[in-house]
Each structure stands twice: as structure tokens, then as C-alpha cells.
Structure 1
Amino acid sequence: MKLMRQHSEEPDVNLTPMIDVVFLLLLFFMVSTSFIRESSLKVDLPEATGQALAEQEAPIDIIIRANGEVLVNDTPIAVATRDALRDLLKTTAGENADPHIIISADANAEYQQIVTAMDAAQLLGFTRLTLATRQKSVETP
């Protein structure tokens, strides 16, 4: 008896549908993911409701004028460097571990000075910062 040898075919796995599904999942997660950049500084953004917020302690006001002059609670700083601002903030805060700091900058002030003020507050561990704004007046036609 002579048996014929059967030639079995190798199973063929088609990877194309699996690759398509993986790419669709990748695309779905890329589109549905929100890319939020977290800052190392916590900033309380002011709300434009027109009502004043009740404060428990007097805040520290940092005023940055358009000509580059910087004042901390009406005390001018000769040279507004990060270290000078940090030292003045430390003495102004006194025993308060995390005072409320309000940065009021002129619309034409240099952005670098605002960042320097925020950086000086961060070096001291102050996290309660508010950037002061004014509510835009709405004109009725």
C-alpha cells in the first residue's frame, strides 16, 4: 500500500486588519486626549463678575508700571531683579507663610517683569497669585 504524502499548507495570517485596528485606536486616543500644559506656578485667574472678593488678610500688591518701575505695597524697588524682589517680598510677608499676592501690571509693561515677579514669589513658596485685570466696559448700542 502506497500512501501519498499530503502536503499541508502553512497557515497564512493576514496582519493587515490588525494593523488597521491598531492605527485606528492610536488615532482615536490622540484625538480624544486633551493636551493641557500644567504650570509650576498656581495662578488664581480673576473672574470678571464685577464683585469684589472678600479677603481675610491684606494682600501684597506688586505694581508694575509701563516705564519699568516696580512697587511692592507702595515701596519702590531701585533695580527690579528677581533677588531684590524676593527679598522685599520676604520682608513684606513677615510671618505669613503664603500671603495673597496681587500683581497689577500696566498693559504696556514688559512681560519679562511680570514673569520676574511671579518667579520671585515662587522661589519663596508663595502660591496664591492673582493677576489684576479690569473689566472691559460694555457699550450698549
Structure 2
Amino acid sequence: MNFRPRPKDEPEINLIPFIDVLLVILIFLMLTTTYSKFTELQLTLPVADAEQQRDYPKEIVVAVAADGRYAVNKAAVEGGGVESMARALGDAAKAGADSVVIISADAQAPHQAVITVMEAARRAGLSHITFATQSSASAGR
């Protein structure tokens, strides 16, 4: 019999599985945590009716009817020529060259009527032109 004391191995703690478990817990907590935004001050913002205060000095709305008549900002334009339209656009351009011309033409309006408005805008020095449309859902009403 061998009664000599055997050298005892020091117990080791294997850290690799411990780190793996901690990473899984950390990922789980990160995915399940909801973040809330807390403010320090409770504010009551002022209320305003935006529709009454809206003023568009940069917008010039030009309506073109199906028969070729024109209206600039709901005012009828006498004469269908480029010169009379350019004068009307120049008078309506409160913001000068920064004004935006919105052409709202009827679907049945002649192509030449729209081109006349574009040429008049060019002569009046207005280079920002856009076209108004409506969605197909509102067209069926």
C-alpha cells in the first residue's frame, strides 16, 4: 500500500462557459429592454389655427380651364396671350424671382394653354414651376 500523500491538484474554475452565459444574458437583456424617453420639463405648447395664418407669398396659382381661360390667384386674366399672362404673373409675384408658379390645369385643357403659362413665367423671370394634380381616389367623386 502506498500511504504517501498524493499531490492534490488545485481546483480550476473554467471561465469560458461562465463568460458565454453572461454574454447570452446580456444579449437577452438588450433585446427585451424598452427604452423610454423621459423629459425633465412638462411643457404645454401654445395652440394656433394654422389654416388661418397660412400665407403663401411665394406661390402663384395659375388655373387653366378646359376651354383655355386663365386665372392667376383666383383672378381672371383678360386675353389669352403670353404678354397678358406675363404681366399678370409679374404683378402676382410678391416674392420676386423666388416665387413658385403652380399650374393647375384641367385634364381637358389644351396643351398649348399650359405651354403659354410656362412661357409667360419665363418672360416674367419666374423659373420655379410645378404642376398640381389630384389623386385618382378623389378624381372619382
Give TM-score scaled by structure 1 length. Answer: 0.54
**Residue-by-residue CA offset, 1:23-47 (whole Å, 9 max, x unaligned):** xxxxxxxxxxxxxxxxxxxxxxxxx
Change (3 A) 1:100 1:55: farther
Cα distance in 1, alignment partners of residues 64 and 99 from structure 2: 19
Q: Which portions of structure 1, spanning 4 or more consecutive aligned residues, are displaced by more than 6 angstroms?
A: none
Change (3 A) 1:55 1:101: farther
Equivalent position SS for 2:108: coil
Q: Which residue of 1 aligns with 2:99?
A: 99
Cα displacement (A) at 1:97: 2.2
Change (3 A) 1:62 1:56: closer
Q: Using CA pairs under 8 Å that are at least 6 residues apart, name the structure with larger relative contact order, 1 or 2.
A: 1
1:123 aligns with 2:117: no
Is the Cα contact below 8 Å between 1:98 and 1:125 reproduced in 2? no
Equivalent position SS for 1:125: coil
Q: Which residue of 2 aligns with 1:64?
A: 64
The unaligned stretches of length 5 or more in structure 1 are 1-53
Cα displacement (A) at 1:55: 8.7
Q: Which residue of 2 aligns with 1:49?
A: none
More helix, by proportion: 2
Q: Which residue of 2 aligns with 1:110?
A: 110
Identity of aligned residues (%): 29
Equivalent position SS for 1:104: strand
Give the superposed CA RMSD: 2.2
Cα distance in 2, alignment partners of residues 91 and 114 from structure 1: 19
Equivalent position SS for 1:80: coil
Query: Aligned letter for 2:112?
Result: Q
Cα distance in 2, alignment partners of residues 124 and 86 from structure 1: 5
Cα displacement (A) at 1:61: 0.4
